[in-house]
Amino acid sequence: MTKTMMVHVLIWFFSVLISSFAQVMLKTAANRKHESRLKEYLNPIVIGAYVIFLVSTLLTMYALKVVPYSLSPVIESTSYIFIPVFGVFMLREKISRRRLLGIAIILVGILVYALGGMGVLK
């Protein structure tokens, strides 16, 4: 993997990370009481989350100019790891054993894909 591609992969990972953060921001906003329907959708947390989604989309589009689209399932699946972690720290959620098993399976899948791409598993 070239240095340019590695930088773009990291940009894409950052994009997924901030998108995951924005999803937890939206859940935080949804858990709050609001004075009106308008304030439910037009408050700083919701607007901030959608701005982050926009930035995430732009970063992903930028990364896709260099990174092969075949990496998409691996990179995007990391959101299934980031979101529960953010949920624990931001929402005080607990991670069940079943969810931990799911996260472990995702990590194993990413590892198998990465090792296969390096020729280790061929």
Q: Which residue has the higher pLDDT, 121 or 11?
A: 11
Query: CA 97 to CA 82: how far, in whole Å?
Result: 16
Predicted confidence at residue 122, as pLDDT, reads 55
Predicted confidence at residue 115, as pLDDT, reads 77
Q: What is the pLDDT of residues 11-47, one digit of tens each?
A: 999 999 999 999 999 999 999 999 998 999 999 999 9
Tokens for 42?
């037009």
Q: Which amino acid is at 90?
A: M
Query: CA 27 to CA 48: how far, in whole Å?
Result: 13
Q: Which residue has the higher pLDDT, 68 or 115?
A: 68
Q: What is the pLDDT of residues 57-109, one digit of tens each?
A: 999 999 999 999 888 888 999 999 999 999 999 999 999 999 999 999 999 98
pTM: 0.86
Predicted confidence at residue 118, as pLDDT, reads 55
Q: Which amino acid is at 39?
A: K
Tokens for 35?
């004075």
Query: CA 100 to CA 103: how far, in whole Å?
Result: 5
- Find tokens 């921001």 and name the residue: 25
